[in-house]
Chains A and B, each alone.
Chain A
Amino acid sequence: KAGVTQTPRYLIKTRGQQVTLSCSPISGHRSVSWYQQTPGQGLQFLFEYFSETQRNKGNFPGRFSGRQFSNSRSEMNVSTLELGDSALYLCASSWGTALNTEAFFGQGTRLTVV
């Protein structure tokens, strides 16, 4: 079956702009989580959506937001980009929750803010 698809794979934006990243989970998966990965902070949880509802949110400013559609596809948005937002953004999907099942990760979107 097709894996988790993230688009675009690479993105370059200017400070102050906003960006929207997309994640298509594996068919049948209802849970989608987003993570930010940087060399300094490692992998950090951003938020999780399940059946269109945000179930949990990490410790990130309000500039980071997300949503999930009825087909389980998810988007995350970052407004007023800062240089420190440069990172690899990863999306993971799972059938139920990632607690006791396998989470499948996409290859990520590499965002560079200049």
Chain B
Amino acid sequence: DAKTTQPNSMESNEEEPVHLPCNHSTISGTDYIHWYRQLPSQGPEYVIHGLTSNVNNRMASLAIAEDRKSSTLILHRATLRDAAVYYCILSRTSSNTGKLIFGQGTTLQVKP
């Protein structure tokens, strides 16, 4: 399974944009990039996913490098509710399985 590397923690101020980086240098052409987050005392929550092109949804944007060896999750205006552990995950479409491999993630603190 391809591995991802994320910073252990990041801080942001409320209402400012946040860029959460993820390195995945061993990504293969069929790996999707997923982002999930886990708020305290809750199960993980889907944020966004993509394959090659940048993706936007109501929660965030996903910027994928041209060589796909890194990606960045962008929260456009951080709120206190965005304080969570953010996981960058790769999944291999060719293996016909729903297995998600979680790393240690990035703990995001949002300061008022």
Contacts and interface: CB of A to CB of B under 8 A. Distances in A.
- Do the two chains belong together in a single complex? yes
A100 interface: yes
B100 interface: yes
A99 B43 contact: no
A71 B86 CA distance: 32
A35 B101 CA distance: 10
B104 A99 contact: no
Nearest to B105: A42
Instruction: Give the interface residue-count category, chain A.
Output: 20 to 34
Contact of B102 (A42, A55, A104, A108): A42
Nearest to B30: A99
B4 to A, nearest CB: 13
Contacts of A55: 96-98
Contacts of B92: 99
Interface in B40-97: 42-46, 49, 51, 87, 91-93, 95-97
B97 A48 contact: yes
Given A42-B103, A99-B91, A99-B93, A104 B46 contact: yes
